[in-house]
Amino acid sequence: MSGTSSRVIAILDALSTPEGGLTAQEVVERAGLPASTGYRILTELQELGLVHRGAERRLIANFSFQRRLHCPGLEPEVLAQACAKLSADMTVAAEVVVLSGHNMLWHIVEQHPEQAIRLRAFPGFMRAAYELDSISRLALAHRSVEALEKSFDTGAFYTAGVDRRSLDWAEARAMIAAVDRHDMQHDMMGNAKGIRRYCVAIHDAGGEMICLLTVAEAATPLRDEAAHVANVRAQLMARKSAIESVFSDPAQTG
């Protein structure tokens, strides 16, 4: 994909989700683009009638744009319902994330109004998979060592969290290899933004990874860490089983 196309898609992603519109600055920040590039694209979209200004000069999308996971037999609504249930039951954010090239890409984000922290991630948000937090480790564990060495810069991996440090390939490879692809992964210390994520992989009937289902919460101290982790695991594994059941029984909806 050309650089121009990827920038336009980033703007479309940023505009497609919020109700009530965003300021031009908010759109550009969500898209992760330089201000001059973002404002130019927004001006062109307005000239084409795809974006208009509403109250308080907030930008409103005059189009429908949605990324969809392509997986025969699994409707996107099943994933959305799983996120909604996790968020409602646990008062947290729930997400669907995929590995896209060298990046983690957010498809669904369900935030609870009473959760303790607001997420920077939103549908269409991307960040490098080189940060070896729980979601990157689990996603990369579904790739062979040969595939990783061929397509990734093996000297670019680093740890998550405030005390981030670079990892040589031997250490990064060992961290990825230690992952149980069928169990929940998590980082109790959280990332540099103060967010702790727990995740499970969703697999199709052939065992291929479709996406990651995550729970995101504030990385605050817990009274009973073991009990909390066990509860999150039980919730995520229940949703994982319900989603994957559609491949054996298409009538199931999770």
Per CATH, domain 76-247 is 3.30.450.40: yes
154 pLDDT exceeds 90?
A: yes
pLDDT band at 250 (very low <50, low <70, confident <90, very high): low
Of 1.10.1240.10, 1.10.10.10, 3.40.50.300, 3.30.830.10, the CATH number of 3-61 is 1.10.10.10
CATH 3.30.450.40 boundaries in the chain: 76-247
Token output for 176: 């990825």
Q: What is the 3-class SS of the chain, one letter each residue?
A: CCHHHHHHHHHHHHHHCCCCCECHHHHHHHHCCCHHHHHHHHHHHHHCCCEEECHHHCEEECCCCCCCCCCCCCCHHHHHHHHHHHHHHHCCEEEEEEEECCEEEEEEEECCCCCCCCCCCCCCCEEECCECCHHHHHHHCCCCHHHHHHHCCCCCCECCCCCCCECCHHHHHHHHHCCCCCCCEECCCCCCCCEEEEEEEEECCCCCEEEEEEEEEECCCCCCHHHHHHHHHHHHHHHHHHHHHHHCCCCCCC
101 pLDDT exceeds 90?
A: no
254 pLDDT exceeds 50?
A: no
252 pLDDT exceeds 60?
A: no
Residue 52 to residue 92: CA distance in whole angstroms:
33
Higher pLDDT, 250 or 119: 119
Mean pLDDT of 211-219: 97
Q: What is the mean pLDDT of the chain?
A: 90
CATH 1.10.10.10 boundaries in the chain: 3-61
Please tell me the predicted confidence (pLDDT) of residue 197: 97
Question: Is the full-model pTM beyond 0.85?
Answer: no
